[in-house]
C-alpha cells in the first residue's frame, strides 16, 4: 500500500460535462482570488466594520451575489470584512445601510452573552471605513437591496 498515492494517474476528465464544470470551478476560484486581491487593498487592508488589520483574517465579501462570477471582479460590489463580520454579514446578523452605517440585527442586539457579543453590538450605527478611491466605494444601490433583505429577515 505504501506509495499507492504516488502511482495514481493524474485525473483526466474525459466527460465533457465534468470538464466544463471543472473549468467553471477554476474560473470562479480565479475570480474570487482577484476579487480578494482588489477589495482588501481598496480598504487599506482592514475590516470595514471593526478596522481589524490582520490580512489573514480578512475576506472580500460580495454585497449582492455576483451574477457574473466569471467576469471582472467589481470592487463596488465588495466589502473587506474580518472573518466574524463576514459570517455575520452572510447570516444577516449585521448589514451596511446605503448611508454607509453598520446595522446590527435585533437578534444580536437583544441577546446577552458575554464580551464578544457586547463588542459586536457596539458597532450598531457606526460608520464603516470607506476606500479612499471614490470608484472603489460600495455601491449604495446594492447595499440598499441587501439592507432591505436584512430588514425583512429582522421582522420575520
Q: Binding of Zn ion at residue 50 (CB under 5 A)?
A: yes
Q: Binding of Zn ion at residue 120 (CB under 5 A)?
A: no
Minimal distance, residue 52 CB to Zn ion, in Å: 5
Minimal distance, residue 47 CB to Zn ion, in Å: 3
Can you give the three-state secondary structure of the chain, one letter per residue?
A: CCCCCCCCCCCCCCCHHHHHHHHHHHHHHHHHHHHHHHHHHHCCCCCCCCCCCCHHHEEEEECCCCCCCCCCCCHHHEEEEEHHHHHHHHCCCEEECCCCEEEECHHHHCCCCCHHHHHHHCCCCCECCCCCCHHHCCCHHHHHHHHHHHHHHHHC
The SS3 assignment for 47 reads: coil
Among 82, 88, 96, 143, binds Zn ion (CB under 5 A): 82
Stretch that binds Zn ion, among 24-32, 66-74, 75-83, 128-136 (CB under 5 A): 75-83
Among 40, 42, 47, 58, binds Zn ion (CB under 5 A): 47
Q: Binding of Zn ion at residue 86 (CB under 5 A)?
A: no
Q: Binding of Zn ion at residue 93 (CB under 5 A)?
A: no
Q: Binding of Zn ion at residue 85 (CB under 5 A)?
A: yes
Q: Binding of Zn ion at residue 60 (CB under 5 A)?
A: no
Q: Which residues bind Zn ion (CB under 5 A)?
A: 47, 49-50, 52, 82, 85
Amino acid at each position: 500500500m505504501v506509495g499507492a498515492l504516488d502511482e495514481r494517474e493524474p485525473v483526466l476528465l474525459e466527460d465533457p460535462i465534468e470538464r466544463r464544470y471543472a473549468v467553471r470551478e477554476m474560473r470562479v476560484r480565479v475570480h474570487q482570488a482577484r476579487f480578494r486581491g482588489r477589495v482588501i487593498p481598496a480598504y487599506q487592508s482592514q475590516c470595514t466594520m471593526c478596522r481589524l488589520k490582520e490580512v489573514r483574517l480578512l475576506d472580500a465579501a460580495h454585497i449582492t451575489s455576483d451574477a457574473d462570477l466569471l467576469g471582472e471582479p467589481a470592487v463596488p460590489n465588495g466589502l473587506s470584512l474580518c472573518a466574524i463580520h463576514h459570517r455575520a454579514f452572510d447570516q444577516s446578523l449585521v448589514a451596511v445601510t446605503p448611508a454607509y452605517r453598520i446595522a446590527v440585527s435585533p437578534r444580536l442586539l437583544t441577546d446577552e452573552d458575554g464580551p464578544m457579543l457586547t463588542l459586536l453590538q457596539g458597532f450598531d450605527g457606526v460608520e464603516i471605513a470607506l476606500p479612499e478611491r471614490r470608484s472603489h466605494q460600495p455601491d449604495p444601490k446594492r447595499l440598499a437591496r441587501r439592507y432591505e433583505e436584512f430588514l425583512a429577515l429582522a421582522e420575520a
